[in-house]
Amino acid sequence: MRRRRALTARGAGALIAGLGCLLAANLVGAPILIYVGILLLALTVFSLLAVHMPRRNGAVARQISTDLLTVAETSRVTLRFDLRAIRIPHGLWRDVLPDAVSGDSAGEYPPESGQLSYLITGVRRGVWAIGPLVLRTVDPFGIAQREQAFGETRTVTVVPEIITLAPLAVKVGAAGGTAHTSSSRLGQGSDNLSPRRYIAGDSMRRIHWRATAHRGQLMVRQEEEESSPDALVVLDRSSARWAAPGEDADPAFEAAVSLCASAAVHLVQEGYGVDVVDSAGILLGTLRGHEEDREGLLVALAMVTPRGEPRDLATVMGGTPPGPLVYITGRLDEETAERLRPAGAAAPMLFAAELDEGVEQTAVHHGWRVAALGPDLAEAWEDALPERMGVGDVSR
């Protein structure tokens, strides 16, 4: 935060004029200029003392109307400012905002409503600090000024924008994202194998009812393996695919992160369980229809940056082909496209910020539906939607 000078422009002019009068009085022999110079200097000193001598302290409490601020979303910040001073000063207040958040966070103090509030809009995703609150007062002559900061900063998390996407034409499983189970029994007596405790997310079809009744808590079968057509969203954030991070945000990478969040939220709304990973296989979030899952993913995506090296897609998928597969990357060359195989995914969609010559044909040959990332993410999504499959069967 840049500190203001103790004197305003008028105050600096008064100080220079006072010194000039004293010098001119000696040069031209005009005693009146001495009195004028002393008066201007005395007025400047008096103004400085009047502004800076009073003791002030105060407490600030901020409240933001939304826990997570989405890019392009507007939220209200309300401040409760308890100022303790000899007298209530009149001046201007402003709350220091980062460049990643825009808003008119200033006003007259004390406010007529008795409450400080303003609107902010998310500009760039990330975790940013708001504050401190700065109170600026000026003496009645407009010569001296004082800026004093109060309270601590408050962080605000700006998450990627969620775009409304078109429905997925391909339905995997019995009903959209309905899971199917394939069990591998170990023969007679396997029902007596040691079960394990139920963990949130386990399928209810895996409940071991005999062990549950015996132990008084939910137990599931260890030997049962469940294969689910869950959706997988992969954000390729390897540094080779994107421009080097700098002070300004990379529009292509921001679009990729926004599409990643939008696709994950959209697929879970269609009934799929969604895993979101990066190209190195690091889990960024898991969506199973709970609001806290969604918030956790958005917070993780708010802080994601290009880094690392990619791993083989089959390794990232873990050997189990998902239902819908969304792969989002930056610059894609033909050599990388040749190695990028959907490995049996039911609905593979590939989005790239930049496609080298011949890349699209290579990717389509391997089974991908390809679209270029552009300013209109909803249009790019529609371009990559798979052909409608099994429409006649569904109608029957």
* pLDDT, tens digit, 9 for 90 and up, residues 165-205: 999 865 654 334 444 433 333 333 444 456 777 776 666 66
**What's residue 13's pLDDT?**
95
Does 222 have pLDDT greater than 70? no
Confidence label for 75 from pLDDT (cuts 50, 70 and 90): very high
Percent residues over pLDDT 70 in the chain? 86
Task: Encode burial over 290-310: b for 16+ CB neighbours within 10 A, e otherwise.
Answer: eeebbeebbbbbbebebeeeb
**What's residue 327's pLDDT?**
96
**What's residue 312's pLDDT?**
87
**What's residue 188's pLDDT?**
37
- At 30, the amino acid letter reads A
Average pLDDT over residues 282-308: 91
Does 255 have pLDDT greater than 60? yes
More confident residue, 312 or 276: 276
Percent residues over pLDDT 90 in the chain? 57
Q: Which of 117-121, 191-195, 240-244, 379-383 has the lowest mean pLDDT?
A: 191-195
Average pLDDT over residues 59-84: 92
Q: Are 303 and 331 in contact (CB under 8 A)?
A: no
Output 146-151 pairs: Cβ under 8 A, ≥24 positions apart: 146/6, 146/51, 146/52, 147/3, 147/4, 148/56, 149/1, 150/57, 150/58, 150/59, 150/60, 150/81, 150/83, 151/58, 151/59, 151/60, 151/61, 151/62, 151/81
**What confidence tens digit (pLDDT) does each residue in 309-364 have?**
888 888 888 767 778 999 999 999 988 899 998 888 888 999 999 998 889 999 99
Average pLDDT over residues 29-58: 92
Q: What is the mean pLDDT of the chain?
A: 85
Helix 377-384, helix 251-269: angle, nearest 10: 60
Does 281 have pLDDT greater than 50? yes
**What's residue 101's pLDDT?**
95
